[in-house]
Amino acid sequence: MDIARKKAPSRKRWIFGTAGVAALALSGVALGRLEPAAPSVPRSTVWTDTVKRGDMVRQVRGPGTLVAQEIRWVSAETPGRIERKLVEPGTKVDAGSVLVELTNPDVQRQSLEAQRQLGGAIAELATLRANLENQRLTQEATVATVTSEFNEAQRQIRTSEALAAQNMMAPQELEKARDRAAELRTRLDVERRRLAFMTQSMRSQVQAQTSQVSMLRTLAAFQQQQIEAMKVRAGTTGVLQELPVEMGQWVNSGATLAKVVQPGRLKAVLRIPETQAKDLAIGQEASVDTRNGIVRGHVVRIDPSSQNGTVGVDVSLDGPLPAGARPDLSVDGTVDIERLHDVLYVGRPAFGQPESMVGMFRLSADGTQAQRTRVRLGRGSATTIEVSGGLRPGDVVILSDMSQYDSADRVRLQ
Q: What percent of the chain has pLDDT over 70?
A: 91
pLDDT confidence tier of residue 36, bands split at 50, 70 and 90: low
Q: What is the pLDDT of residues 287-300, one digit of tens each?
A: 999 988 899 999 99
The Cα 159–Cα 188 span in angstroms is: 22
Ramachandran angles phi, psi of 160, nearest 5°: -65, -40
* Residue 187: how many other CB atoms lie within 10 Å: 17
Write the CB contacts of 294 (distance below 8 Å, at least 6 apart in sequence). 287, 288
pLDDT confidence tier of residue 33, bands split at 50, 70 and 90: low
For position 29, what pLDDT does the model report?
52
pLDDT of 342 above 50:
yes
For position 27, what pLDDT does the model report?
60
pLDDT of 7 above 60:
no
pLDDT of 65 above 50:
yes
Q: What one-letter code names the amino acid at 246? A: E
pLDDT of 15 above 80:
no
Specify the range with the lowest mean pLDDT, choosing from 94-103, 217-226, 257-266: 257-266
pLDDT of 261 above 90:
no
Ramachandran angles phi, psi of 235, nearest 5°: 85, -10
Ramachandran angles phi, psi of 334, nearest 5°: -130, 130
Looking from the CA of 21 toward its CB, the CA atoms found within 13 Å total 5
pLDDT confidence tier of residue 31, bands split at 50, 70 and 90: very low
The Cα 88–Cα 251 span in angstroms is: 18
Q: What is the pLDDT of residues 51-61, one digit of tens each?
A: 999 999 999 99
Specify the range with the lowest mean pLDDT, choosing from 10-19, 225-234, 266-275: 10-19
The Cα 391–Cα 371 span in angstroms is: 12
Q: Is the dihedral of CA 294, 296, 297, 302 positive or negative?
A: positive
Whether the Cβ atoms of residue 164 and residue 108 lie closer than 8 Å to each other: no
Write the CB contacts of 104 (distance below 8 Å, at least 6 apart in sequence). 78, 79, 80, 81, 230
What are the E-state strand segments in 113-192? Answer: none
Query: What's the farthest any 2 CA atoms get from each other in the chain?
Result: 233
What are the E-state strand segments in 141-277? Answer: 231-233, 238-242, 250-251, 256-261, 266-273
User: How does the average pLDDT of the chain come out, rounded?
Assistant: 86
Q: What is the pLDDT of residues 90-105, one digit of tens each?
A: 889 998 999 999 999 9
pLDDT of 157 above 90:
no
For position 34, what pLDDT does the model report?
46
pLDDT of 32 above 60:
no
Q: How many helices (H) and strands (E) does the chain have?
A: 3, 21
Q: What is the pLDDT of residues 349-401, one digit of tens each?
A: 988 788 889 999 999 888 888 999 999 999 888 889 999 999 999 999 999 88
Q: Which residues pair with 412 in a beta bridge?
A: 40, 369
